[in-house]
Copies of this chain bind each other. A is one copy, B any other.
Amino acid sequence: MSLRNAILALLRIGPMSGYDLQKQFSQSVGHVWHAPDSQIYPELRKMADQGLLTAEEQARGASGMRKVYHVTEAGEREFLEWMNAPLKYQRTRDAAHLRAAYLEAADPEAIEEFLNGHIRHWQVELETVEEEICKIDTLTSPMLNRRLEVTEDEDREATIAFKRYSYEGLAARARGEIRWAREGLALIRQLGIADGVEDADPQ
């Protein structure tokens, strides 16, 4: 049900087409909520049918078309209701920690590759999140700036602070995962599993 709320959150910043939304979901917002285009377009239509959005049809060139979606009052209500309601936590489904618990069954090289892969994965995540934070701090984030344009002066500080706060949380998580994987590398060395041997025996 949160794809809907993510869409509402974005459209509240300003009207957008499905394509614009899609880009957001594969960039900035994608860090907290991912959605592919095949999910976005049908959801937009459903939300419009339910009166949460209205579609403003725009011509594009000779025969091109573009639907720009606006949040209706009902949509605004639905979003605020969600924001003020207790959050439902999904049950964890964490393949990395599942695998980690049974790592003794894997080959030594696979163990090391798994841990290095974990580090790589979260390092990419960390870098992009840190870039977003930088954009927030330097006020060069397009979406945030667009939002700030229609925000009362006294609410700007909070708007910026919460966005930064959210991304700082993501960065902290990424750092935690990297730390954990590094501890894993230390552990396999300690257990004598690592093939650090190959370096220690040249010739």
**Chain A residues packing against B (C-beta within 8 Å):** 2, 5-6, 9, 12, 29-34, 79-80, 83-107, 110, 113-114, 117-118, 121, 155, 157-159, 161-163, 165-170, 172-173, 176-177, 179-180, 183-184, 187, 191, 193
Interchain CA distance A100-B161 in the complex, whole Å: 10
**Copies, count:** 2
Determine the residue in chain B with the shortest Cβ distance to A158: B104
The reply to whether A6 and B98 contact each other, CB–CB distance below 8 Å, is yes
The reply to whether A95 and B88 contact each other, CB–CB distance below 8 Å, is yes
What 12 additional pairs, Cβ within 8 angstroms, besides A32-B93, A168-B180?
A2-B98, A6-B98, A34-B91, A34-B93, A83-B105, A87-B95, A87-B96, A87-B114, A97-B170, A101-B167, A168-B183, A172-B176
The reply to whether B104 and A95 contact each other, CB–CB distance below 8 Å, is no
